[in-house]
Amino acid sequence: MVVRDKPALKACRDLEEDLVLYYYGEVSESARGNCDAHLKNCEACRASLAEMRSLLPMTAAHDEPAQAFWEDYSREMRRKLDAVAESETWWRRIVGLVAPLPVPALATGAVLLLALTLTLTLTLGKGLWRSSTSAPDDEAFMEVLPMAEQLDFFSNMELLDNLDLLETLTGQGNGTA
């Protein structure tokens, strides 16, 4: 075992962030000149940069699956698309009526209301439902729930901003340097 115990090399504190960007080739022209000049005279920062060069490329993961994997992938994907398409076909007819509602909260509310209405419809009009589709009642009802989640998806695209806030809060909480 060649693994040794040693602390991470420390660059000069005020140059630390620039040095990371320097490593990735993301510093401005002036900052690059600054870094170059500093690196000439600072052994600690040179060592820090060398450590990034040896360490960071090793963190990437690579995988080259065989052809059989890709064939399975496509088959499985088609199955999943089938399942989604099937649940969407009848759902679209209903949700089309409330689709113009712009507020996610309203949409979610509408979904729940519809789920409730549907349950009642299914309970009260079982004969009628069965004549138009072969799906068992329970299955049809269960399909409503994932669709409700999907309506929320694009509001989840704003999740990044919420996470930012969360990280700030937890960052303050655990007080890491």
14 is in the binding site of which of other proteins, Zn ion, none (Cβ under 5 to 8 A by kind)?
none
* Residue 42 makes contact with Zn ion by CB under 5 A: yes
The pairs formed by 19-26 with CB atoms below 8 angstroms and a separation of 24 or more are 19/45, 19/48, 19/49, 19/52, 20/52, 22/49, 23/49, 23/52, 23/53, 23/56
CB of 12 to Zn ion, least distance (A): 3
Residue number with CB closer to other proteins (85 or 138): 85
* Residue 145 makes contact with Zn ion by CB under 5 A: no
Report helix, strand or coil for 89.
helix
Q: Rule CB under 8 A: which residues touch other proteins?
A: 1-9, 16-17, 20-21, 24, 26, 51-52, 54-56, 58-66, 69-70, 73-74, 76-78, 80-81, 84-85, 88, 150, 153-154, 156-161, 163-164, 167, 170-171
69 is in the binding site of which of other proteins, Zn ion, none (Cβ under 5 to 8 A by kind)?
other proteins
* Concatenated DSSP letters of 35-85: HHHHHHH-HHHHHHHHHHHHHGGGG-------HHHHHHHHHHHHHHHHHHH
59 is in the binding site of which of Zn ion, other proteins, none (Cβ under 5 to 8 A by kind)?
other proteins
Stretch of 35-43, 95-103, 120-128, 139-147 contacting Zn ion, by CB under 5 A: 35-43
* Residue 9 makes contact with Zn ion by CB under 5 A: no
CB of 108 to Zn ion, least distance (A): 53
HSE of 118 in the Cβ direction (CA atoms, 13 Å)?
Answer: 20
Residue number with CB closer to other proteins (44 or 120): 44
Backbone angles phi, psi at 25, to 5 degrees: 65, 35
Q: How far apart are the first and last CA of the chain?
A: 32
